[in-house]
Amino acid sequence: MSFTAFLAYALALGIAAVIPGPGVAALVGRALGTGFTRSIPMLLGLATGDVVYLTLAVAGLAFIAKAFSTAFFVIKLAGAGYLLWLAWRFWTQGIAIQEVEKSAGRRDGLASFLAGFAVTLGNPKVIVFYMAILPAVMDLEAVTLPGYGVLVVLTFLVLFAMLLPYIALASRARLFFTDPRALRRLNRTAAVAMTGAAGWIVAKG
């Protein structure tokens, strides 16, 4: 594969990623509720989901995505359910001031990763990009094994570059809130963001 092909992929993915969607909404809600560090696993899950669709597209297995549409739908519902659970938690309990810098446990990180993964698998924007737009951007039949490896690395790099600013801005806004009333409003804003992301995922299915 040529440098131009890799560049075309990176640009197309970057444009698609930076446009707000369910993934961005979920990330922002997570960052508002738990901070920068504890949002990284969700971003990693989102990127891993992209790699799954990239692999299907490169392998010419788009029919598998259609054949297992029911399974993807169930995964999508699971991801939406987790976001709703987080929304309920933030709305009813929230994050106390002393928990602002609290580190995440292993279970919390794994659950966040799986939620991000599920959000991507059920995200119509991602499906359309890899199954319809990507084939028009580059010749997928020309992708070699080393080329596929480069595409995987580019996927993570581009998504982190495009989405980390969302997390950073949401986390910075969160750290400004030290008054209990303000923090409660912020928690509820995170709850609304996650509820919206969950509804978006289900409605677009």
Cα(79)–Cα(71) distance, integer angstroms:
12
CA distance 83 to 120: 13
Task: Report d(CA 123, CA 31) in Å as an integer.
Answer: 19
pLDDT at 152: 95
Q: How many alpha carbons fall within 13 Å on the CB side of residue 23? A: 34
The pTM (predicted TM-score) of the whole model is 0.68
Query: Structure tokens of 185?
Result: 């409003």
Q: Say what the pLDDT of residue 74 is.
A: 67
Mind listing the pLDDT tens digit of every residue in the chain (205 residues)? 788 889 989 998 988 888 767 788 788 878 877 788 889 999 999 999 999 989 988 887 655 555 555 655 666 676 677 667 767 776 776 554 444 444 444 557 888 898 889 888 877 778 778 877 787 778 888 888 899 999 999 999 999 999 998 898 888 776 665 556 666 766 677 677 767 766 766 665 5
Q: Which of 168, 30, 37 is nearest to 89 (CA)?
A: 30
Residue 205 · residue 125 · CB < 8 Å? no
CA distance 31 to 11: 26
- Pair 171, 39: CB distance under 8 Å: yes
Q: How many CB atoms lie within 10 A of CB 132?
A: 11
